[in-house]
Amino acid sequence: MNKPVALVTGASRGLGAELAQILSSTHHVVAVSRTIGALEALDDRIKKCGGSSTLAPIDLADENAVAQLCRSIFDRWGKIKIWAHTAIHAAPLGPVIAIDSKDWEKSITNNVTALAKLIPMISPLLEEDSKAIFFEDNTIMKKFSSIYGATKAAQIHIVKTWQNECKSTGPKIYVLQPNPIPTAVRARFYPGENRKELQSVNIEAKRLVSLLEL
């Protein structure tokens, strides 16, 4: 296999799945998610388009599983040319005065702690000209999204700090803002919204990939 490797964390559905399928035209995709059925469906779509993928059904909050994944990538391919991180846990909406401790802890674990451990483990696999892509979310409603908003902001702060640290050495760190798209997460935040008026996930994923100058 001569294709470079693209790692997509959070690849089972939504933007992650679309990015994985698009990148598979030029890269061998390592698709990571906890949902094996959705990963298998993604693999079928990638194969139908003539691409190839390796499925990694792991929990990104499991440090040992991530370490094993990174070691396997190193042993098989050595390096990663693209890392796209779309994995996110969206806690249920609710007022600040009713923040649930379990929802808070789960969000911190999946959105902040997991990423803080992912970057040190994945970064040795990235070369100077490799690209790491992360996604902001400035479209969430102001009310009732305190847990998601706080942990997403913490995630992006970590990424932007890393971005500043890598400016002269690489890899290239991208922080992109997707336009509103009809994902499951958005449906939870905007119930009753006319999803037909939103940009399709496929078209938006293509636009985001075009920004990477591959």
Residue 70 — φ and ψ, nearest 5°?
Answer: -65, -40
pLDDT at position 75: 97
CATH code at position 147? 3.40.50.720
- Nearest by Cα to 84 from 5, 167, 201: 5
Question: Which pLDDT score, from 0 to 100, does residue 1 have?
Answer: 61
> What residues make up the domain containing 164?
5-207
Quick: pLDDT tens for 87-141.
Answer: 999 999 999 999 999 999 999 999 999 999 999 999 999 999 999 999 999 877 7
Q: Nearest Cα to 69, choosing from 23, 119, 21, 32? A: 32
Mean pLDDT in order along the chain per 10 residues (214 residues):
92 96 97 96 96 97 97 97 96 94 97 97 97 90 88 97 96 96 88 90 96 85
Could you tell me if residue 13 is inside a domain?
yes
Spatial contact of 150 and 105, defined as CB atoms under 8 Å apart = no
- For the chain, how many structural domains are there in total? 1
Omega into 171 within 30° of 0, i.e. cis?
yes
Residue 20 is predicted with a pLDDT of 98
* Residue 214 included in any domain: no
> Among 16, 127, 113, which Cα is nearest to 66's?
113
Taking the alpha carbons at both ends of the chain, their separation in whole angstroms is 19
> How far is it, in rounded angstroms, from Cα 89 to Cα 147?
10
Token pair recorded at residue 79: 């390096």
Spatial separation of the C-alpha atoms in residues 114 and 132, rounded to whole Å: 16
User: Whole-prediction pTM value?
Assistant: 0.94
User: Which two three-digit tokens encode residue 130?
Assistant: 């490799």
Residue-level pLDDT at 191: 86
Is 212 a domain residue?
no
213 domain-assigned: no
Contacts within 8 Å (CB) and 24+ apart, 56-62: 56/30, 56/31, 56/32, 57/32, 57/33, 58/32, 58/34, 59/34, 60/9, 60/10, 60/32, 60/34, 60/87, 60/110, 60/114, 60/118, 61/109, 61/110, 61/113, 61/114
Q: Does residue 92 lie within any of the structural domains?
A: yes
